[in-house]
Structure 1
Amino acid sequence: MKKELHEANRLSWNAATVAHNSHKGDQAAFFRADGSTLFPEETALLGDVKGLALLHLQCNAGQDTLSIARLGAKVTGVDISDEAVAFATRLSAQSGIPARFERSDVYDYFRDAGARGERYDIVFCSYGTLCWLSDISAWARGVAQLLEPGGRFVFIDFHPYAMVFDETWQFHYDYFNDAPVPEAGVGDYVVQSGDGLVRDDYEPGVQDFRNPNPSFEFAWGVGEVITALAEAGLAVERFDEYPYANGWKPFEGMRDIGGKRMAPPESMPRIPLMYSLVARRPKAP
């Protein structure tokens, strides 16, 4: 693991999270009015969570975590960013939706939670998460360790194939890339996507955001992800690909095809922009 790069990413996310939330208005009021930030894909993959213990890894500022808690799960959210966890904790209190949040590097959380004997019925993570992980095998082992026998890992993310393009749809990044990719810093993708990632009224918020802290991303192909989960002892039960990206408009000409599902221009062939999977920890024979 490259913990020094994780630390750089923590600082970068601290700065970016302030900018992201500046566009989202009164989020506590949104949740008090029964708002939810989940897309139909997540709710379908999660199924009935009422009364279940659920761990949300890399939960960012907690909006999806609280949306899941509203469905009746007992949720714990974990994120590396101090700013994100502080915001999530305030949002939980102000919205009246109970949840527990912990600031931790995900790998440290696996170690500490394992030592405490924590186990969950569901481990969940979504959207822009794997690209911040420097060791996919250690991550998969940590997920498996924290699942109850029979428990499920539920995952949805943007497809790594889409990550080979720059914003003009030109091939730019290597799909098979073993080295960390240095970036200028976590950007303001909320501005980039306009109201695609804002469920209530979009606000201008922070303008012309430039992150003062660089960031580092990691490329994990679909095969590497599935293999890591299988080697960790999880049985993949479902794998799906989608020709759209929920809420996110990273490329030129993307259009809303309904429900804030963003697709390439009509002139382009359809390509996978998201994928999801469900994997289960087998019960002891």
Structure 2
Amino acid sequence: MSGRERREQNRRSWNAAVGAHESHRGDLARFLRAGGSTLFPEELELLGDVRGKTLLHLMCNAGGDSLSLARLGAAVTGVDISDAAIGAARRLSEAAGIPAEFHRRDVYDWLEENRGARRFERVFASYGVVCWLSDLDAWAAGVAGVLAPGGRFVLVDFHPAAMMFDRDWNLAHDYYAGGAPLEDAAGVGDYVAESEGGLTPAGYAAGVRDFRNPEACHLFRWGLGEVVSALAGAGLRVLVLKEYPYSNGERQFARMRELPGRRMYPPEDVPALPLMYGISAGRS
């Protein structure tokens, strides 16, 4: 199966899951209208002041973060492979009264079509991005192709070192490397419900219960060094690389402790380890 075929299957899996995710998010439009934000401090720190900046949000999902950035004054364009996610993003934009531009496209196709034709002062992607990329070098080259001179690319994602553990903190898997594909028959899960409010700053709603996805998905296993090398190989200069001993919003493992700011830490009997990382890279 080709990378494109796997991504198309992922589109179907995401389409099946978005409704369940949306059912838990409370009145997000009202929350945003009132000045609320779905963003965490880590991505805001790396992005810097976005007022008046053109900003491309890759793999933007249902638009909460995109519209939070637009509320800060950015001119936002969001791209996602999922028809259901982009439909939800457009509805949220209208309901919240926050304008943004959303495109339903395979990220590789959109980047190739707009290489050199459109330039953005910020390009942004976050939380569960790299694992969906079938070709890391092509993605990095696409990012460089739409980033304006002097612009900044920001990525915040879950750390591949954390993926070596099973849910109960047992060391169970090899470190990710080489983009090796992994089929998950269970498909995209209802991680919003599993976060128990960590991903719903507008308030958690019970919504869909016991969601089961009928569509499998395909993940791609990349190491942190490979991500950094791909960006450098595309001509971007890595300015910042940070590692964080907690996970924002998402409860990936058993017995996680929630500290202020919806930060999820390992239980006290588990040694600290990096659960997220953040990268800021510039284009000269």
Contact 2:244/2:274 (<8 A) preserved:
yes
Q: How far apart are the structure 1 equivalents of 2:217 and 2:176?
A: 19
Aligned-pair distance for 1:31? 1.0
Letter in 2 for 1:276: G
2:5 corresponds to 1:7? no
Cα displacement string for residues 174-194 of structure 1 (whole angstroms, at most 9, x for unaligned residues): 213442111120000111110
User: Secondary structure of 1:25's match?
Assistant: coil
2:67 corresponds to 1:77? no
Aligned-pair distance for 1:173? 2.9
Aligned-pair distance for 1:44? 1.2
2:69 corresponds to 1:68? yes
User: Secondary structure of 1:118's match?
Assistant: coil
Q: Give TM-score, length-normalised by structure 2.
A: 0.97
Q: How far apart are the structure 2 equivalents of 1:51 and 1:177?
A: 38
Cα displacement string for residues 244-279 of structure 1 (whole angstroms, at most 9, x for unaligned residues): 000010100101121110000011110000000100
How many residue pairs are counted as aligned between the two chains?
A: 281
Cα displacement string for residues 188-224 of structure 1 (whole angstroms, at most 9, x for unaligned residues): 0111110111102211100000000000101111100
Match of 2:103 in 1: 102
Q: How far apart are the structure 1 equivalents of 2:195 and 2:163?
A: 16
Letter in 2 for 1:71: L
User: Secondary structure of 1:180's match?
Assistant: strand
User: Secondary structure of 2:162's match?
Assistant: helix
Q: How far apart are the structure 2 equivalents of 1:66 and 1:46?
A: 15
Counterpart among 266, 269, 275 of residue 264 in structure 1: 266
Match of 1:273 in 2: 275
Identity %: 58
User: Secondary structure of 1:123's match?
Assistant: strand
Structure 1: which 5+ residue stretches go unaligned?
A: none
Contact 2:70/2:98 (<8 A) preserved:
yes
Letter in 1 for 2:106: D
Match of 1:200 in 2: 202
User: Secondary structure of 2:161's match?
Assistant: helix
Match of 1:141 in 2: 141
Q: How far apart are the structure 2 equivalents of 1:147 and 1:50?
A: 17
Match of 1:234 in 2: 236
Contact 2:62/2:86 (<8 A) preserved:
yes
Letter in 2 for 1:138: A
Match of 1:169 in 2: 169
Structure 2: which 5+ residue stretches go unaligned?
A: none
Q: Give TM-score, length-normalised by structure 1.
A: 0.96
Match of 2:113 in 1: 112
Letter in 2 for 1:3: R
Q: How far apart are the structure 1 equivalents of 2:164 and 2:82?
A: 26
Letter in 2 for 1:62: G
Match of 1:157 in 2: 157
Q: 1:12 to 1:171 in 2, by over 3 A?
A: same
Match of 1:244 in 2: 246
